[in-house]
Structure 1
Amino acid sequence: MNHSLKEKYHEVREIKSLKDLLDSSVKLYANRPAFLVKKEKGGEYYPIQYLQVKNDVDALGTKLIDMGLKDAKIAVIGENCYEWIISYFAVVNGTGVVVPLDKELSKEEIYNLLRTADCRAVFFTKGYEEYFADFDIDYKIRMKTYGDRTDLSQPLAESSSGGEDGKGILDWESMVAAGEKLLHTGNHSFVDAEIDPYEMKVILFTSGTTDAAKGVMLCHHNITTNIMDTCKIAYITPEDRSLSILPIHHTFESTMGMLLILYRGASAAFYEGLKYVNKNLAEAQATVLIGVPLIFESIYDKIWKQAEKTGKANQLRKAIKLNKTLKAMGIDTSKKLFKSVHEKFGGKLRLVISGAAAIDPKVLRGFEDLGFKMLQGYGLTECSPLVSGSPDFCNNYKKAGSVGPAVSSGEIKIVDKDEDGIGEIIFKGPNVMLGYYNMPDKTAEVLKDGWFYTGDLGFLDEEGWLYITGRKKNVIVTKTGKNIYPEEVEYYINRNKYIQESLVHGTFDEDNDDTQVSAQVRPNYDVIYEEFGESFGDEEVQSLIKRVISEINEKLPIYKRVRNIAVRKDEFIKTTTKKIQRHKNL
């Protein structure tokens, strides 16, 4: 550990579990706002206090146990909303095991993961109701994204049917109302539930197909140590407000954008969509924004396009130059010099945190030039997620290409280095997962002697700051931070009778300025000629394959769809064990 860093760490309070996190925050910040929600889309934000968060979690958790769901695996899926995070807490803090699911998965993938995890119940927002209308699961619970109560004195209606609507779907609010009644009659089954910080309580899937789905098993200790480690390098106060824009099932948003905010006594507002980011930042008076490079790069580009459009680009450049000179003298006039820029975000935004993919160093420096503190981190679902992060008390401008040093309780090593010192990044720390759910062989491949082998490539500088140079794994990463596993898409492609084998990889599309999915496909000529005749020409084969891929795409989320297809006649270059050698075929 770099001891000069340790001396500068921000103080943190010790927490042993997520239940401890919530209970202690409620004691410290009872009447402060925890969330900012809207009664209706486009309306104003209303605060929900920490006291209500605790009340709703306890009520819902009590009701879940009363329904016989103690120790059950329970999924949560849908848009970011208050009811999503309360459901998460109600499951993980005394009921059972929470299984957050990606809302962009196809219906087939969602069903597969629910069965893989053996879920007995699922929480979902209204838009996913049709997905579960005919799905066989013990309990289906519908959440809403707008219109939550913001005052505990406001009663919740409990239907006479216990919340069921005649379709076998339970209403979230009715369950909370029923739970409140149980609490008032002395049912403390949830409130008094003991938490083992080292027991698996979260399953996060890294992929969605039958063959490739890997459930990352996390415990309370994994997550709470990562929260404390992050708060040592990123100072969040009870006065801070964040705007939740990343998918809440994603461990980056879940840990950093929700749990960490609640740990610090701050508040989180839920945004209404990407095109409303600036509007919602201003409405919520947000001071912190956590996102992915695509969002920050888009915001930065818009700032400069607007400056060019209004003829103020040269003036902005001069102001940046002046600001740098003043900063070097210990004078920071950013807020005054760039008042019009800051006002576009509500005038309060002070800290932006980027993760899930590498950000252009020019953009990071650009935000710093305009008076915003910008941090970036490197993490993986398997590490809860943060492995390294740039501290807010360091010169991140100078090290804009780095993802920072290891978190305080962790250690990073580079193994199998090449002549430039670049090798695989491995990590050890209390935030490393327990393993992959029901996959001991896959677990053994990445966990060795306490070290997690990330599959990513990089190097450490003399001060222990990590630089990512590439991916050892085959994963395709989009600018929005989406991970696409080639084997997953290949699984779907290779199932088709007209296809012998395929190779999926990422290609950069300059028009869209993002990585897209491409595929090399070797047709199964024997089947094709048998069905269509020997005279079936190359153009007809190409048309057939394109039609097949188009049909396969319909079953995949938009970001996983194959955009470029190359049909090849010759066999792929393979190893002696007949495995396709990816790098030699690209």
Structure 2
Amino acid sequence: MSPKYYAAERLRDLSELLERGERKFGDQVVFRDLDRSRTIHDHSFRELHQDVAALGTALLDRGLSGRHVALIGDSSYGYVLCYLAAVTSGAIVVPIDRELTKDEMVVLLNKSDADALLFSDSLSPTVPGLLESCPRIGMVANMTMYQRDHDGGLSITDLLKSGRALLEQGDRRYANMTTDPDAMCAILFTSGTTGANKGVMLSQRNLTTVVFGAFSLYRFPPVSMSVLPIHHSYEFNLHVLGCIYGGLTLCFNDSLMHVGKNLLEFRPDMTLMVPMIVESLQKTIWREATRNHLDKHLRYGLWYSNLIRKIGIDARHYFFKPIVRSLGGNLKMIISGAAPLNPVVAKEMSDLGIAVYNGYGITECAPLISANCPRFNVPGSVGIPIPGVEIRIAEPDSEGNGEIQVRGDNVMLGYYNDPVATEQTFTPDGWFKTGDLGHIGRRGALFVTGRKKNLIIL
């Protein structure tokens, strides 16, 4: 393997991920979330594996293996349990954006052939309307934990209780369950930039490939905070599954309005963000400095810190300690993806002592394709491909720019119930056409330069 990469362990499927997590990390905390009263609840790797087994047993008992299970809800431990239990018991998960309108949700539920709906408490008022328009849905359950009352309906607490009872009675259906790592395990909807929602079919091999890829590029610090919506492939596949893989603790932010408060509460070492949030964070730092009449001091501090770093003196932890303290005190790494990141913003955050690494991905690639990292960081680029993933530039112009095409175990199975769109998005020799334009630059780094235009030739 290239010296740019760290050694990492390839896994077969999510069952192996959970078993490995319990074996290696045991009672260490893997997830930390908040209830309505803002009480923190910690969950260990051992508890996670046992809870997934109980919930998976309950889902098998209700005949959901091979069925499509839609998830609409908040970022939480309950959501993670439902996703993992569904996949490891042979169901297909359909994560849906909780911010969509009821009518938009109905379209996706019907388009995905959803047989069951697991939802968070915040969606309770919307559920009756969804069921009226989605007659295929049979089982419905509330996946919010720490609630005493779920209005008499089925809840994740009920399912966990029934699953544990079955396990105590010797039920071995879940333990004996074997899933195909190359079969569809998830349908994720994306509209991209060109029109109607398409259902991206992903396999467990797709998911474990990008987790392996991420840990081939990084050695992550121990505590992270989840900021992005959990239905996004970027957040769930890389952040949630990555923390299980790497023995990290992931703290769930309960609202974008509470990011500042939760940074102070959880004191994470790192997080995953989109460029808009990174840029908002940078603007907030300057706004607060200006409000406190410290903007001139900050400019001078950045200049002087950068000057002495050139002679090997790194005093960022001293000069900018108040800024880092306002972000919890430990934040040292941000992984940015899903859109281009302004390299000026990335450099300034790094100058403050918070490294920002930009990556590139697309839902159809589960989503990780390439990324910058500590061992390989070319400003303005989106880094190098993860191990086992190939990138080529199709029909490059005089400046080397052409369509970015990808091949590897991260690439989707196709679009659900849409063979025409699937055929159109792959080349005859099996490469996935991203629709993005770019070129391979210095040191083999990938640069994304725009979107391919849709031309109608008359």
Deviations 1:224-259 (A, max 9, x none): 01111111112125xx11111111110000112211
Following TM superposition, by how much is the alpha carbon of 1:473 offset from its aligned partner in structure 2, in angstroms? 5.7
Does the alignment pair 1:193 with 2:189? Answer: no
Alpha-carbon contact 2:289-2:295 (below 8 Å) kept: yes
Following TM superposition, by how much is the alpha carbon of 1:574 offset from its aligned partner in structure 2, in angstroms? 7.7
- Name the SS of the counterpart of 1:392 in structure 2: coil
Counterpart for residue 118 of structure 1 = 113
User: Using the alignment, how far apart are the partners of 1:329 and 1:92 within structure 2?
Assistant: 53
Alpha-carbon contact 1:319-1:337 (below 8 Å) kept: yes
Q: 1:243-392 to 2 correspondence within 5 Å? A: 243-392=225-374
Counterpart for residue 74 of structure 1 = 69
Deviations 1:274-312 (A, max 9, x none): 222121012112111111111111110111121122222
User: Using the alignment, how far apart are the partners of 1:44 and 1:311 within structure 2?
Assistant: 36
Q: Give the letter for the 1:291 counterpart.
A: M
Larger Rg: 1
Q: For 1:404, which of 355, 375, 383 is the aligned residue? A: 383
User: Using the alignment, how far apart are the partners of 2:157 and 2:436 within structure 1?
Assistant: 44
Q: Which moved more, 1:383-392 or 1:324-333?
A: 324-333
User: Using the alignment, how far apart are the partners of 2:22 and 2:151 within structure 1?
Assistant: 31
Q: For 1:469, which of 435, 439, 449 is the aligned residue? A: 449
Q: For 2:408, which of 429, 433, 438 is the aligned residue? A: 429
Counterpart for residue 16 of structure 2 = 20
Following TM superposition, by how much is the alpha carbon of 1:207 offset from its aligned partner in structure 2, in angstroms? 3.4
Which structure 1 residue ranges, 5 or more long, are not aligned? Answer: 149-156, 475-572, 577-586
Does the alignment pair 1:53 with 2:48? Answer: yes
Alignment coverage as a number of residue pairs: 450
Q: For 1:85, which of 76, 80, 87 is the aligned residue? A: 80
Alpha-carbon contact 2:90-2:185 (below 8 Å) kept: no
- Name the SS of the counterpart of 2:442 in structure 1: coil
Counterpart for residue 141 of structure 2 = 141
- Name the SS of the counterpart of 1:133 in structure 2: helix
Alpha-carbon contact 1:10-1:233 (below 8 Å) kept: yes
- Asked which structure has the greater RCO (Cα within 8 Å, sep 6+), the reply is 2
Following TM superposition, by how much is the alpha carbon of 1:388 offset from its aligned partner in structure 2, in angstroms? 0.9
Deviations 1:516-560 (A, max 9, x none): xxxxxxxxxxxxxxxxxxxxxxxxxxxxxxxxxxxxxxxxxxxxx
- Name the SS of the counterpart of 1:425 in structure 2: strand
- Name the SS of the counterpart of 2:439 in structure 1: strand
- Name the SS of the counterpart of 1:130 in structure 2: coil
Identity %: 35
Distance change (3 Å), C-alpha of 1:361 and 1:266: same
Q: 4+ residue runs of structure 1 moved beyond 3 angstroms? A: 573-576
Alpha-carbon contact 1:236-1:261 (below 8 Å) kept: no
RMSD: 2.0
Deviations 1:491-526 (A, max 9, x none): xxxxxxxxxxxxxxxxxxxxxxxxxxxxxxxxxxxx
- Name the SS of the counterpart of 1:463 in structure 2: helix
Following TM superposition, by how much is the alpha carbon of 1:17 offset from its aligned partner in structure 2, in angstroms? 0.8
Deviations 1:330-387 (A, max 9, x none): 3322111110001001111111011111111111001100001111111000001011
Alpha-carbon contact 1:207-1:213 (below 8 Å) kept: yes
Counterpart for residue 442 of structure 1 = 421
Counterpart for residue 542 of structure 1 = none
Counterpart for residue 432 of structure 2 = 452
User: Using the alignment, how far apart are the partners of 1:443 and 1:257 within structure 2?
Assistant: 27
Distance change (3 Å), C-alpha of 1:44 and 1:328: farther
The alignment's TM-score, normalised by the length of structure 1, stands at 0.74
Counterpart for residue 531 of structure 1 = none
The alignment's TM-score, normalised by the length of structure 2, stands at 0.94
Which structure 2 residue ranges, 5 or more long, are not aligned? Answer: none
Alpha-carbon contact 1:38-1:147 (below 8 Å) kept: no
Q: 1:154-193 to 2 correspondence within 5 Å? A: 165=152, 169-193=153-177
Counterpart for residue 154 of structure 1 = none
Deviations 1:429-471 (A, max 9, x none): 1100011111111111112222110001111103211111111
Deviations 1:401-429 (A, max 9, x none): 11111112111111122222111111111
Following TM superposition, by how much is the alpha carbon of 1:81 offset from its aligned partner in structure 2, in angstroms? 1.1
User: Using the alignment, how far apart are the partners of 1:100 and 1:92 within structure 2?
Assistant: 12
